Structure 1
Amino acid sequence: MSHDDPVTEFDARFSDPSARATPWPDTLRVLRDAELYWLTTVRADGRPHVTPLIGVLHEDAAHFCTGPQEQKARNLDHDRRVTLTTGTNTWAKGLDVVVEGTAVQVTDRPALHALADAYVDKYGETWRFEVGDGAFGADERVAHVFRIEPSTIFAFAKDPHGQTRHRFTHPG
């Protein structure tokens, strides 16, 4: 989230009395360190489509990529609203994070090079992407790259249980 820090709000209605708001840097750490994310997109008929994928946090923004023929890419062609989730998948420890926002395609060559490097830094050589014309790769092996422009990011702490909302305001 390459803009100002969000407005952070703690929701005591859904939290243990001893819980406190999750600080923004802790939420970013979970997004940065996650190995796997779940991306939800909206199908043309309005049904949700959920799929696991890898991704990177670059310049404090969540990024993912997808082939143009994949269901999530076809969904993004008509509706850019997405939800990205990650966390610990446990009840009483860790932090789960939910990012609600809009997927914005990244086509700038320097940005794509930086993101390709970020994938290698995080996942190793197995995930080395070549940068093509406005995407990773070329021809049949192309992947479109997206940044999530967040509207709200929720942090769900589990020890003690606490719900935090980080709200974003975007220019314009």
Structure 2
Amino acid sequence: MTNEPVATRNLDQYGHAELPWSRARDILATDSPTADLTFFVSTVRQDGRPHSAGVGAVWVDDALYFTGGPGTRRSRNLAANPACSISVRLRGLDLVLEGDAHRVTGAATLERVASVYRHAGWPATVEGEALTASFTAPSAGPPPWYLYRVTLHRAFGVAGAEPHGATRWDFAY
């Protein structure tokens, strides 16, 4: 499945053209492994209350991946309800991604994403159906860490740099 939009809507009130998805996608692919970006993943508790946490995420092979320890609130929420949103400020573009996050257990994908994390400076390795490393964020909980892949439903971009604009992208899922 490719993460290309099936519909686009211009949300700009100042007459700017709609933004191409390729702008967001290309910045994610270039910057997420190595730039100092914080992604905020929002999930839904069983009682309907929201939960948000900063995570290290990477765009690999046209998809967004992030981690969560089995005991973290985000992992527990995603086990019950995969709906989530992810927010990040990229170079010249604020981006919100909406979709479902599902745990990845396939060895090939785990190793591919771990290699991107290693290239970025986090020494992730595959252990069973999860990732482990000698260190991680203090709030991540103890290893192993589950890997999640986001299936995009919708994304919103607001450009703070030329060319300016605001756009909604809808994806098939």
- Label 1:57 to 1:135 Cα distance change in 2 as closer, same or farther (>3 A): same
Partner of 2:42: 40
Whole-angstrom CA distance in 2 between matches of 1:86 and 1:99: 9
Contact 2:9 2:18 in 1 (8 A): yes
Displacement after TM superposition at 1:4 (Å): 5.7
Partner of 2:5: 6
> Which residues of 2 match residues 106-145 of structure 1 at below 5 A?
106-121=104-119, 123-124=120-121, 127-137=122-132, 141-145=143-147
TM-score (norm 1): 0.84
Partner of 1:61: 63
More helix by share: 1
Partner of 1:147: 149
Whole-angstrom CA distance in 1 between matches of 2:41 and 2:3: 24
Partner of 1:98: 96
Coordinate RMSD, CA, aligned: 2.0
Displacement after TM superposition at 1:74 (Å): 1.1
Counterpart check, 1:29 vs 2:31 = no
Task: Give me the identity figure in percent.
Answer: 31
Whole-angstrom CA distance in 2 between matches of 1:166 and 1:130: 34
Structure 2: segments with no counterpart, 5+ residues:
134-141
Q: Secondary structure at the match of 1:131?
A: strand
Q: Secondary structure at the match of 1:21?
A: coil
**Which of structure 1's runs of 4+ aligned residues deviate more than 3 A?**
none
**2:107 partner letter:** R
Displacement after TM superposition at 1:167 (Å): 1.0
Contact 1:30 1:87 in 2 (8 A): no
**1:7 partner letter:** V
Whole-angstrom CA distance in 2 between matches of 1:4 and 1:75: 24
Displacement after TM superposition at 1:136 (Å): 1.0
Partner of 1:52: 54
**2:168 partner letter:** R
Contact 2:3 2:152 in 1 (8 A): no
**1:158 partner letter:** G
More strand by share: 2
**1:29 partner letter:** D
Whole-angstrom CA distance in 1 between matches of 2:27 and 2:73: 27
Contact 1:152 1:165 in 2 (8 A): yes
String of CA shifts for 1:88-127, please: whole Å, max 9, x gaps. 5xxxx82111110000111000110000001122x21xx1
Whole-angstrom CA distance in 2 between matches of 1:31 and 1:83: 16
Whole-angstrom CA distance in 2 between matches of 1:15 and 1:58: 33
Of 166, 169, 172, the residue aligned with 2:172 is 169
